[in-house]
Amino acid sequence: MKIRIDHENLALTGPLLAFAVGTLIIGAEYSDISEFVPYWASIFMLITCLFVILGFDNQMTDEEAEAEAEANASEEISKSRIYIAILWISAFVFISYFIGLILGSAVYAFCSMYLFGDKKLLPTLLISVLLGCSLFGMFEYVLEKELYMGIFGEMLLEDY
Amino acid sequence: MEALDLAVIAEAWLKLLEFDSMIYLVLGTVIGLIFGVLPGLGGTTALALLIPFSMNMEPGDAIILMAGVMASTPTSGAVTAILLNTPGTAPNAATTLDGYPLAQQGKGGLAIGAAATASGVGGLLGVIFLIAMVPITREIVLMFAPPEFFLLAVLGLVTVSLSTGKKFVKSLMVGLFGVIIASVGYHEVTGEERFTFGVDYLWDGFKLVPVMIGFFAVSEMINLWAKRGTVSKSGDIESVNLKQVLQGCLEPFKQWKITLRGAAIGTGVGALPGVGGTVAAFMAYTFAVTTAKPEDRDSFGKGNIIGVIAPESANNAKEGGALVPTLAFGIPGSAEMAVFLSVLILHGLTPGPTIMTESLDIIWILIAATVVAGVMASVITILSASSIAKLTFVDSRTLVPIVLAFAMIGSYSLDNEIYDVFTTLAFGVIGFIFMRFGFPRISFPLAIVLGPLMETSYFQSLGIGDGTLSLLFDRPQSIIILVLIAGCILYYLKNSVGSSPKGRSKVS
C-alpha cells in the first residue's frame, strides 16, 4: 500500500481530525466511567481520519472511479451557489431570531419566492400570508405552543 | 404478556379503528406519499419533521402516524420513477429500468398499477414476517444482557458502515463523530459535565429532535436551494389510463412467484442492519432477470412488467424486516429506522427486552397500522398517480421556505428553546457538508441513538462484572457478536485494502 494524501477530502477530514484530537485531549481528563465512550470514540475517529487522509481507503478501480466522477459531475454545483444556499438558509434563523418565528417564516417565504424565485407579487404574498397563518393556527391553537416572538416582539411586549 | 396474545392483538386493531387513530393514519399516509414522491426528501425527512408534532400525542397515536409515513413513502416513489424516470426514493431506482420504458410505450398506467399492488402485497408480506418474528426475537432478546447490548451497538455501527462498501472507513468516521456528539452533556451516572465548555444549553447534551431535523431536513433544503429549479428535471407527465392501472393491479397476482420472491428478498435484506431498500430492490430485480426464461431475458430494461413487480415488492417488504432489529434489539438498520427509534425513545418506549415484554400492544398497533397504511397508500397511488407525479414540479424556491419553516418551528416547539433552532441549523450545515463530500450519512443518526445505549450498557456491564469488562469475553452470546464485528472488519480489509487499485483518480 502506498501513502498518497487524499487532498480532495482534506477540507473535511482535516477539521474532523482536529475534532478527534481535541475531544481526545479534553476527554482524557474525565473520570474513568465518564471518559470511556468518548475517549475510545476519539481514538478510533483519529485512526479513521488518518486512514482516509493517507488514502488507504480509496482503493477504487478505474470503472468505479469513472462512475463516481460521472455521478459527481451530474450533481456539480458551483461553490458560490453552495455558500449562497448556506447563507440564505441561515438567514431564516437570524430573521426569526429578531422578528419571531411566524412573522419570520412569512417574510422568509416571501423573500425566497419573490426575490430568488422571480414569482409574481400577488401569489407570492398570498402563499406567504397563508403559510404564516397556517403555522400560527397549527402551533398556537392545535398544538397549543407559544411560539417565539423575536427580540423585537419581546421588547415590544415588555414595553406594552 | 404473551407475544401472540389475541386480546392484545384485538385491542390494537380496535385502537386503530378509533376516529382519531384513523385521522393520524390517513395524515401519515398522505404525508408519506408526498415526501416519497419528492426526490431527496423521503421517509427519513418526513419522520424527522413529524417528531415535534408527535410529542403532543399518545404513544399509540404517534406510532400510527409514523407507521403511515413509513409504509407509504416507498409506494409513491415508484410513480415518478415510472412516469418521469426520476425515482422518488433511492430504492425506486430499480423500478425505472423497466417502468420508464413501459411509460414510453404508453403503458404507464399498467406499470403504476403493478407497482402499487406489488408494493401493497410486499408490505403485507413484510409485516407477516415481522409478526412471525415477534415471538422468536422475544426469546432471543431475553437472552441478552448489558454486555451484549454494548456489543450490539458497536456491531450496528460496523455493519451499517460495511453496507456503504468502499466508504466503510468514512462511514465509521461519521458514526464515531456521532458517538462523541451524543456524549456531550452531563454523565447520568457520574454527573460529570462533558464537552459543555460552561454552556448551560449543552448541560443536557444535544437534543435528539433538533439534531435529526437539522441533519436530514435542513441539509436537504440547503442542497435543494443550491441545485435550483424544480425538484424533478424531467418533462411532461403522461396521463394515466385508469383501466390500464386496474389491469396492472392484477399483474402481481399473475406473477405471484415473482411477487413472493421479491418480498422474501426484501424482508431478508431489510432485517440486515444498513443494507437497505436499494440493495433489496436491485437484488430482487437481478434475481428476476437471472431466473427468467432465456427468451424473456432480453425484454428486461425494455419494458418488462416483472422488472417493476420484483423491486417494488422487495422495496416495501423491507420495512417489516427492518423493524425486527429496531424493535427487538434497539439497533436500527437504516437512517429512517434510527429516526423512528428516536420517536420510540422520546415517547418513553425502550426498544429491546422492555418493549418486547411490556409494550407488546405498541408493536401490534404498529403492525396493524403498517398493514392498513400500506393498502391505503397503494389505493391512493392507483387513483391519483398523475396528480402525485405533478408534485415534483414544485419550484425549490417555494418548497424550501415552507419545509424550513416547519422544520425550525418544529424544533423550537418541543422545548420552547430558540437555541434549538440554532442547533438545527448547525447540524443541517454539518449534514450538508458530509453530503457534498460524499461521506455516507447513515451512520450518524445511528450513532446519536446508539451512543447513550453504549454508555448505559457499558456502565451496567461494569456493575455486573465487578468493575471489569470480563463479561464481554465470557458469555457465548458476547463472543458471537465479537466474532461478527471482527468478521465485518476483516471482510472490509480483505476486499478493499488488500486489493490493488487500478485507478485512483480522486487521490493525487
Is pLDDT of B217 > 90? no
Residue of A nearest to B454 (CA): A37
What DSSP assignment string belongs to B460-479?
HHHHHTTTS-THHHHSHHHH
**d(C-alpha B435, C-alpha B164), whole Å:** 14
Chain A (28-57) residues lying within 8 Å, Cβ to Cβ, of chain B = 30-31, 33-34, 36-38, 41-42, 44-45, 48-49, 51-52, 55-57
What's the Cα-to-Cα distance from A69 to each of A9, A60, B56, B91, B109, rounded to whole Å? 14, 11, 46, 22, 35
pLDDT greater at residue B194 or residue B136: B194
Rounded mean pLDDT of B98-104? 84
Range list of β-strands (E), B28-145: none
pLDDT value of position A9: 85
**Cell numbers at B34, concatenated:** 408526498
Question: Which sequence spans correspond to the domains of chain B?
Answer: 6-498
Lowest mean pLDDT among A35-49, A118-132, B80-94: B80-94
Is pLDDT of B234 > 70? no
**Cell numbers at A124, concatenated:** 407570492
**Cell numbers at A84, concatenated:** 449562497
pLDDT value of position B505: 38
Q: What is the DSSP letter of B195?
A: S
What's the Cα-to-Cα distance from B266 to each of A109, B124, B320, B475, rounded to whole Å? 40, 12, 9, 32
Contact A55 B183 (CB under 8 A): no
Tell me how close the Cα of A89 comes to any Cα of chain B, in angstroms: 6
Question: Helix, strand, or coil here: B395?
Answer: strand
In terms of Cα–Cα distance, which of B10, B13, B8 is closest to B368?
B13
Chain A (114-143) residues lying within 8 Å, Cβ to Cβ, of chain B = 116-117, 119, 127, 131, 135, 139, 143
Residues of A in contact with B221 (CB under 8 A): 89
Q: Please report, as a single letter, which amino acid is at residue B330.
A: G
pLDDT value of position B507: 33
Rounded mean pLDDT of B251-267? 88
Residue tagged 480522486 (cell numbers): B506
- pLDDT averaged over every residue in chain A: 85
pLDDT value of position B2: 61
- pLDDT averaged over every residue in chain B: 83
Is pLDDT of B218 > 70? yes
Pick from A73-82, B285-294, B365-374 the range whose average pLDDT is largest. B365-374
Rounded mean pLDDT of B328-356? 81
User: Helix and strand tally (H, E) in chain A?
Assistant: 7, 0
**d(C-alpha B2, C-alpha B5), whole Å:** 5
Residues of B in contact with A130 (CB under 8 A): none
pLDDT greater at residue B308 or residue B382: B308
Cβ(B268)–Cβ(B320) below 8 Å? no
Is pLDDT of B149 > 70? yes
In A104-123, which positions are buried (b, 16+ CB within 10 angstroms) versus exposed (e)? Answer: bbbbbbbbbbbebbebeeee
Residues of A in contact with B508 (CB under 8 A): 4-5, 7-8
What DSSP assignment string belongs to B8-76?
HHHHHHHHHHSHHHHHHHHHHHHHHHHHHHSTTTHHHHHHHHHHHHHTTS-HHHHHHHHHHHHHHHHHH
Rounded mean pLDDT of A82-89? 94
pLDDT range class, residue B501, cuts 50, 70, 90: very low
Rounded mean pLDDT of B256-281? 81
**Cell numbers at B311, concatenated:** 423491486
Is pLDDT of B504 > 50? no
pLDDT in tens, A110-142: 999 998 887 788 989 999 999 999 988 888 887
Residue of B nearest to A97 (CA): B418
pLDDT value of position A55: 81
Residues of A in contact with B147 (CB under 8 A): none
ipTM attached to this prediction: 0.90
pLDDT range class, residue B452, cuts 50, 70, 90: confident
Mutation target among B65, B219, B398, B472 for the A interface, most CBs of A within 10 A: B398
Contact B225 A89 (CB under 8 A): yes
What DSSP assignment string belongs to B142-193?
HT--HHHHHHHHHHHHHHHHHTTGGGHHHHHHHHHHHHHHHT-EE-TTT--E
Residues of B in contact with A100 (CB under 8 A): none
Q: Is B42 left (phi over 0), alpha (psi -120 to 50) or beta?
A: left
pLDDT range class, residue B354, cuts 50, 70, 90: confident
